[in-house]
Amino acid sequence: MANLDRCLNIWDLRAAAQRRLPKGVFDFVDRATEDHIAVANNRSAFERIKLRHRALVDVSKRSVATTLFGKPASLPMAIAPTGAAGLCWHQGELELAKAAAKAQIPLTLSTASMTPMEKIAAVGGRLWFQLYVWKQRELSHQLIQRANRNGFEALIVTVDSPVSPNREYNTHNGFGLPFVPTVRFTLDIMRHPAWTTGVLMKYFGSQGFPKHENYPDEYKSSILSGAGSRDALRADSLAWEDIAKFRDMWPGVLMLKGVNRPDDAIKALSYGIDGIVVSNHGGRNMDSSAATLDVLPEIAEAVGDKMTLILDSGVRRGSDIVKALALGAKAVLTGRATLYGTAVGGEAGALKAINILKNEADKTMAYTGCRTVDEVSPDIFWGYREGNRLMGAA
Amino acid sequence: MSTLDRCLNVYDLRAAAKRRLPRAVFEFVDRGSEDGVAVANNRNSFERIKLRHRALVDVSGRTMNTTLFGKPVSMPMAIAPTGAAGLCWHEGELELAKAAAKARIPFTLATGAMTAMEKIAQEAGPSVGGRLWFQLYVWNRRELSYQLIERAHRAGFEALIVTVDTIVPPNREYNTHNGFVLPFTPNVTFTLDIMRHPVWFSQVLMKYFTTIGMPRNENYPDEYKRMSRDDPTTAQMVRQDSLNWEDIKIFRDKWPGILMIKGINRPDDALKAIEYGVDGIVVSNHGGRNMDSVVATIDVLPEIAEAVGDKLTVILDSGVRRGSDICKALALGAKAVLTGRATLYGTAVGGEAGAFKAINLIRNELDKTMAYTGCRTVDEVTTDIFFGGRQGNRLYERVMDEAAF
C-alpha cells in the first residue's frame, strides 16, 4: 500500500501500474491503435485550452457534486466500461465497482467484463451496462434483459466499433483477448511474479481461467479458443434500426457511446436516446479521429439542451473535467485513469484515482471562481466562447 | 518468412527492411533530399487531418473496389515507379509487379528499372490480370525517349506517366556519403556496407552476378545501360531541364493509351495539362525526394482537384503509409494514390510475398477507416468525414490562422 501512498496523480498511478502489470496487459490498457496519434491528440486538445483565474470570489462552500439523469453523483464523472479491469487486479471489475459506489459515482460494466453482472449488482451503487452488439441480435437482447433484471439503471450501446481496430502492439506482445497463452506472453508473465500470484493464480485457484462471464454460455469458453467468437462479435451491420429496438426493449436510461458528429447526435435525439458519450474510444479505434474535446462544442450546440452529454477519451486531470463541463458536457467517463488505480491497489487504488481527479477538479473550480458545477462555463476560458483563442480562430 | 509474419504495418516492414538492406540501399529508398524536411512534412500533413466516426451505418457490405481509367481495381491504389526495387530483392520489380497483379492494382515500371519491360509484361502483364503503367524520364536526345515509349506500347503497357518534377537531379547528399551510385557501381564505402549484410549480398547481388552480371538499367538504350549517371555522357543524356509543354504535345500525339503527368503541384499546371489532352495527373513531390522545401501533396490537392473537377483523373502520392491516408486523399479529390516506399519496404523483406503483404496491410487499414467513418463505397468518401471545414480539418485552419497573426 505504500506504493499507492506515493502516487499523487494519475501519471504516478500509471507508472506504478506499468511496473506491476505484464507488458502485454499494461500495453493493452495504456496504448491505443496504429501510430498513437489519436491518443496523443486527445491529450493535446485538453492541454491546449487555457483558463483564467477569477479573483476574489468566496469559494469556501464550493461543491463538485452534480446530478446525472436526475440522480446525485458526488462528482461529474462515471467509470467507463473497460474490458481488462479483471486482468489489472483479481476480480478488478468488482473492486472498481466498490470504489465507485463508495465514491458515489456511477460504474459502467463492460459486455466484455470478467465478472458476472449479478456479482457487480450485489455491490449496489449506480450501475450502467455497456453493450457491444453481437451479430446474433437475440443474444444481445437477452443480455440487456439480464442487465435490466439485475437493476442496471442505464444501457450504453457502443457505436464507434464497427470493425476491430489495428492494435498491433497486442500481437507483438503475444497478448490477445480472447486470452491466448503465447510463448512471448508467458515469458512476460514470468517477469511479473507479483501479478502472477496476486491476479492470475487467484483465478486459477478459484474459477480457473478468467472468462467473459456475461457472454452467452456457448461463447464464454471462447475467451480461450477464440473460435467462433470473432464472427459472433462482428458489429459492422449495427444500424439505427437496432437502436429503435433497444429503445423499445430497454425501460431505463439509454445512451450511445462513440458519437462524434452533430448530425448523428440529432439523429440520436429522434430515436429517443437519453444521453450520448462523445468518445473516440480513448483513441483506441480510429487513429485519425478528432479529439473529443474538439468535437464537443458543436455537438453541445446541436443537442446540448435536449440530452445529457458525457465526454471521454483522454481525461487524466481534474482540470480536464472542468474544461469538458465548460464546453457542454454534463460529466466525463474515466477509463485508463481509474484502471491504473485498480492495477496498483484494487478498490483502494481505484478510489485513490477517483479522489485525485476529484481534488484536482475542486482546485480548478476554486481557481476559476466556480462554486458549483453549473457555474463552470466558457467564461473561465482565455479566449472565445467555444474555447480559447486557438479554438475560436477555427 | 517468419519476419514477414511479424510485420503488422508498413513501419514494421520498414524496420525489417532496414535490418536486411545495406545502409546505402536502405537510405536510397527511405530518405528524401537535403534536410529531410519535405518527407516529414508529407507525413505531418496526413496526420494533422482528423476524421470522425459515423455512428450506426450498416457497413457490412462495404467495398474498396473502384475503377481507374474505366477499368476495375480492387482498391484505389497503384504502385509508384521506383528505381531501386531491383536492389531491394533479386528482380524486385518483377516481384512487385506480380504482387500488384495478384492484388489487382496497377503497377508502374520506372525508366530506371533493372528489369526489362518485356519481362514484366510477360510475367505480370494483362495475361495474368496485371495492369501495367510505364514511367518516363525524358532524355535529352528525345528520339531515344520516343523509341522507349514505342517499346512500352508494343509490350502492352496501358498508360504512360511522364515525370515532370525532376528538372534537375536533387541533392541527395546521403547517397554520396554512402558511396551509392545508380546504376550500381562498386566502391570501398559501399563494399564495406555490403559485407555487413551477407544475406542481402548472397540473396540479391550474387544472384545478379551469377546470371546477368552487374544489375543495370535494362530499359535504357544499349549504349547507356551500364553507364554511371556520373559519367559525363550519361549526365548529358539524362539532362531534363529543357523538358516543356511542347514535349507533352508530342507525347500526346505519339502515345495512344492513357497519358499521365507525374509531379503536378499547381492548379494552373493542372489546367494546362487538360489543355494538352492529358488523361491524368499525379499530384506528387516525388516522395519529398527532390525539392526539400516542397509543400505536402495532401495540402495542395484540394485546390488542384477543384480546378480540374472531373476533367481528368487526379492521383496522389508522397507519404502514404497508412490506409487512412488513402481515405484522406480520396476525400480531398484524388481518385487513387501511388505507393513507393511502402511497397518497396515489403519487397525488401519478402519479394512478392512482402510486397503483397504491404498492399494488404494498407488495404486492411483503408477498409477499417471506411468502416469507422461510415463509408460503404469509395464514392462515399468525402470531406464530410473530416472534423472541420471542407478544405481540411479545424486544426489545419487553426495553424493557418495562427500563422496569420
C-alpha cell at A264: 448523428
Average pLDDT of chain B? 91
Phi/psi of residue A125, nearest 5 degrees: 80, -175
B210 three-state secondary structure: coil
**How do residues B127-153 score in pLDDT, each as one tens digit?**
999 999 999 999 988 999 999 999 999
Total domain count for chain B?
1
Judged by CB atoms closer than 8 Å, whether chains meet at B387 and A236 is answered as no
Mean pLDDT of B267-293: 97
Tell me, what amino acid is at A55?
A
Q: Does A59 touch chain B (CB under 8 A)?
A: no
Q: Quickly count: other Cβ atoms within 10 Å of residue B161's Cβ.
A: 29
pLDDT tops 70 at residue B356: yes
CA angle (B144, B148, B150) in 5-degree steps: 115
Marked catalytic residue, from B53, B90, B177, B286: B286
Mean pLDDT of B240-245: 90
What is the pLDDT at residue B183? 66
Total domain count for chain A?
1
What is the pLDDT at residue A179? 66
Q: Does A239 touch chain B (CB under 8 A)?
A: yes
Contact B340, B319 (CB under 8 A): no
Of A191, A153, A148, residue with least CA distance to A69: A153
Q: Please name the residue of chain B whose CA is at the shortest distance from the CA of residue A36.
A: B47
Q: Grade residue B239 by pLDDT with cuts at 50, 70 and 90.
A: confident
- CA-CA distance, B251 to B273, in Å (whole number)? 12
Picking from B8, B10, B53 by the largest number of A CB atoms within 10 A of its own CB, the best residue to mutate is: B53
CATH of the domain at A380: 3.20.20.70
Judged by CB atoms closer than 8 Å, whether chains meet at B51 and A295 is answered as no
- Kindly state the DSSP code that residue B378 receives in the 8-state scheme: G
What is the pLDDT at residue A225? 46
Q: Please name the residue of chain A whose CA is at the shortest distance from the CA of residue B327.
A: A288
**How do residues B165-186 score in pLDDT, each as one tens digit?**
988 888 999 988 888 876 667 7
Closest Cα in chain B, distance from residue A311 (Å) = 15
Closest Cα in chain B, distance from residue A116 (Å) = 28
Judged by CB atoms closer than 8 Å, whether chains meet at A166 and B11 is answered as no
Q: Is A70 exposed, middle or buried (0-12, 13-18, 19+ CB in 10 A)?
A: exposed
What is the pLDDT at residue B60? 94
Judged by CB atoms closer than 8 Å, whether chains meet at B368 and A160 is answered as no
Task: Name beta bridge partners: A77.
Answer: A332
Closest Cα in chain A, distance from residue B355 (Å) = 19
- What are the DSSP calls for A316-363, one per residue? -SHHHHHHHHHTT-SEEEESHHHHHHHHHHHHHHHHHHHHHHHHHHHH
What is the pLDDT at residue B399? 41
Closest Cα in chain B, distance from residue A106 (Å) = 24
pTM for the structure as a whole: 0.89
What is the pLDDT at residue A392? 45
Greater pLDDT, B237 or A230: B237
Closest Cα in chain B, distance from residue A169 (Å) = 9
Contact A192, A22 (CB under 8 A): yes
Nearest to A239 among B9, B57, B364 (CB): B57
Chain B residues inside the 8 Å CB shell of A269: none
Q: Please name the residue of chain A whose CA is at the shortest distance from the CA of residue B12.
A: A168
CATH of the domain at B99: 3.20.20.70
Task: Name beta bridge partners: A276.
Answer: A256, A309
B95-104, B225-234, B334-343, range with the lowest pLDDT: B225-234
Of B323, B305, B321, residue with least CA distance to B313: B305
What is the pLDDT at residue B230? 58
Q: How many CB pairs under 8 A join A and B?
A: 126
pLDDT cut 70: percent of chain B above it: 92
What residues 70-89 of chain A have any CB closer than 8 A to a CB of chain B?
A: none
- CA-CA distance, A254 to A275, in Å (whole number)? 7
Q: What is the pLDDT along chain A (394 residues), one digit of tens a residue?
A: 468 999 999 999 999 999 999 999 999 999 999 999 999 999 999 999 999 999 999 999 999 999 999 999 999 999 999 989 999 999 999 999 999 999 999 999 999 898 999 999 999 999 999 999 998 999 999 999 999 999 999 999 999 999 999 999 988 888 876 666 788 888 998 899 999 999 989 988 887 878 888 888 777 754 444 545 666 777 899 999 999 999 999 999 999 999 999 999 999 999 999 999 999 999 999 999 999 999 999 999 999 999 999 999 999 999 999 999 999 999 999 999 999 999 999 999 999 999 999 999 999 999 999 999 999 999 999 865 444 444 444 3
**How do residues B69-126 score in pLDDT, each as one tens digit?**
999 999 999 999 998 999 999 999 999 999 999 999 999 999 999 999 999 999 999 9
Tell me, what amino acid is at B69?
F
Chain B residues inside the 8 Å CB shell of A163: 59, 367-368, 371-372
Judged by CB atoms closer than 8 Å, whether chains meet at A259 and B369 is answered as no
Judged by CB atoms closer than 8 Å, whether chains meet at A236 and B371 is answered as yes
Judged by CB atoms closer than 8 Å, whether chains meet at A160 and B57 is answered as no
Beta carbons within 8 Å of A248's beta carbon, 6+ residues apart: none
Q: Does A393 touch chain B (CB under 8 A)?
A: yes
What is the pLDDT at residue B357? 98
Chain A residues inside the 8 Å CB shell of B369: 286, 288
Closest Cα in chain A, distance from residue B67 (Å) = 25
User: Active-site residue numbers of A?
Assistant: 281
Q: Which domain holds residue B24?
A: 2-404
What is the pLDDT at residue A52? 93
Picking from B2, B12, B52, B321 by the largest number of A CB atoms within 10 A of its own CB, the best residue to mutate is: B52
Judged by CB atoms closer than 8 Å, whether chains meet at A166 and B8 is answered as yes
Q: Please name the residue of chain B whose CA is at the shortest distance from the CA of residue A234.
A: B60
Of B309, B330, B308, B315, residue with least CA distance to B384: B330
Q: Does A183 touch chain B (CB under 8 A)?
A: no
Q: Which domain holds residue A341?
A: 2-393
Chain A residues inside the 8 Å CB shell of B360: none
Judged by CB atoms closer than 8 Å, whether chains meet at B387 and A243 is answered as no
Residues of B with CB under 8 A from a CB of A: 6, 8-9, 11-12, 47, 49-60, 62, 322, 324, 327-328, 364-365, 367-369, 371-374, 387-388, 393-395, 397-398, 401-402
C-alpha cell at A116: 458476472
What is the pLDDT at residue A387? 43
**How do residues A120-165 score in pLDDT, each as one tens digit?**
999 999 999 999 999 899 999 999 999 999 999 999 999 999 999 9
Q: Does A35 touch chain B (CB under 8 A)?
A: yes
- CA-CA distance, B169 to A32, in Å (whole number)? 41
- CA-CA distance, B254 to B145, in Å (whole number)? 11
